[in-house]
A = this chain, B = another copy of it.
């Protein structure tokens, strides 16, 4: 067995109103779309998405995949295609939601391959030009006939480049998400104006420090495959690999970046001549990926809070990230945030059991912790150089009434490195979504 264990997609949540853009500006040379093909049982929710590059046939692509040993069939197929093509000439992505095609044996591998073959064929691609993703329940074979007949329908009649087409595409990859996650922006490098658009899905089975969840972002900037892979790794480490909802790493996590060069300008590569342009676009893409990744935390299953864990003055970036991740994943910290309880002992406890590189990485007598309110009011110190502060409880409660909170941990090591990590609280609703769905 294995049923759909997720609540249905609700476009009209209040979060949707706040976080789904009403318009966007999209990169040149892409068409996208989404339809209902029959994977989702309600008979109407969008469950099949395609993104296609129309600017020549030679876009660059880079991808990172889950490190889970039980890699879903579409992950294995997409990995193979990236390996074969070295990221050159990837022109399409096909995604179904409602079924993850994971732990589905030999039939699952055939189904994933067939999805790429049909997409390549109908879009006139060379072979091995399409990446495939699936998301949803683990352990059931895909209703592959519905998908394979949905692909031509979608590819021939429902792809475009309007805001609504992008919303449809972002909606069609959702599962327990309560809103589609879509971000776009424009930036300029050396007088060349480029556009980035990104979409992702995810609300549960979200775990940090691994190869992320499901998403892709595309740009009309000209970037070589190797430069794009390097930029993708850097940006994903600081975005999708720096978020958590429940600490569970999925079997299907995939993030793809595509650059088709449709906006023109000089090619950005890994060589020294690209230096400044490389840094500039890496910075843009990293900030963009953070914006996108934060939407996943905003939509975390059952989440009522959005919390930034900021670790400062660490000996290394890895230590800072490990400590931030430890706090961000603590069930006790997350339930305290849900209960609006300034129980900072739980923060200290999670700092203390983080995996760090050396005995000097965390020195209790140098560690300070404070709440940084997002309304710009004064910080609230909780611990200063290892000694507990007398905390004004009324003020602490007031700070915790806010949906957003920054917890700042200063390690005082003199190392100067820092990392941010984003998490949500652990609520009754999380347990309901993941345990009680049948009642």
Contacts and interface: CB of A to CB of B under 8 A. Distances in A.
A392 to B, nearest CB: 8
B138 A251 contact: no
A1 B339 contact: no
Contact of A434 (B105, B247, B332): B332
A323 to B, nearest CB: 10
Contact of A68 (B210, B248, B337, B352): B352
Interface string A305-348: 00000000000000000000000011110011111111111101
A123 interface: no
Instruction: Give the interface centre of A71, A330, A332 by most chain B CB atoms within 10 Å.
Output: A332
A106 to B, nearest CB: 8
A344 B205 contact: no
Interface string A1-25: 1110100000000000000000000
Contacts of A350: 248
Interface stretch (A52-60, A154-162, A221-229, A422-430): A422-430
A348 B246 contact: no
Contacts of A364: 69-70, 103
A292 interface: no
Interface residues of A, number: 73
Contacts of A248: 330-332, 346, 349-350, 353
A383 B103 contact: yes
A75 to B, nearest CB: 11
A204 interface: yes
Interface string A102-133: 11110000000000000000000000000000
A72 to B, nearest CB: 10
A339 B438 contact: yes
Given A353-B249, A388-B103, A393 B1 contact: yes
Contacts of A329: 247
A352 B205 CA distance: 13
B341 A138 contact: no
Contacts of A103: 345, 348, 364, 383, 386, 388
7 contacts: A69-B352, A103-B386, A247-B247, A335-B430, A427-B431, A428-B428, A431-B431
